[in-house]
């Protein structure tokens, strides 16, 4: 019985760790850097509001909508060096 409980807790912890946006970023599995599209993004991009003008769900047909529109810190995760 103890083995089953340990396995269940391990699986739950693994799912919680790998499913969150921040965790995926730190593990190198996060979405693309804005630097992958220099023709669209330049050095004038400074805050989340600028990101969400295009990436807020329903705002633009050309830009992919963010899956986490309420999260603050777009540039913290997406302004990393090109991968």
Rounded Cα–Cα distance for residues 66 and 78 (Å): 11
Contact 54, 60 (CB under 8 A): yes
- Domain, as residue range, for 2: 1-30
Q: Which pLDDT band, with edges at 50, 70 and 90, does 21 fall under?
A: low
Q: Inform me whether the pLDDT recorded for 80 exceeds 70.
A: yes
Q: How many separate domains does the chain show?
A: 2
Q: Can you point out the beta strands (E) in the chain?
A: none
Q: Same domain for 65 and 26?
A: no
Q: Same domain for 17 and 48?
A: no
Q: Which pLDDT band, with edges at 50, 70 and 90, does 17 fall under?
A: low
In which residue are the tokens 């340990």 written? 6
Q: Same domain for 40 and 56?
A: yes
Contact 66, 57 (CB under 8 A): yes
Residue 37 three-state SS: coil
pLDDT at 72 (0 to 100): 82
Q: Same domain for 6 and 40?
A: no
């Amino acid at each position: 019985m103890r083995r089953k409980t340990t396995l269940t807790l391990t699986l739950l912890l693994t799912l919680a760790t790998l499913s969150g946006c921040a965790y995926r970023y730190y593990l190198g599995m996060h979405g693309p850097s804005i630097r992958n599209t220099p023709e669209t993004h330049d050095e004038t991009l400074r805050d989340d509001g600028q990101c969400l003008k295009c990436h807020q769900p329903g705002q633009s047909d050309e830009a992919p909508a963010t899956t986490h529109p309420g999260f603050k810190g777009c540039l913290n995760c997406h302004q990393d060096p090109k991968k």
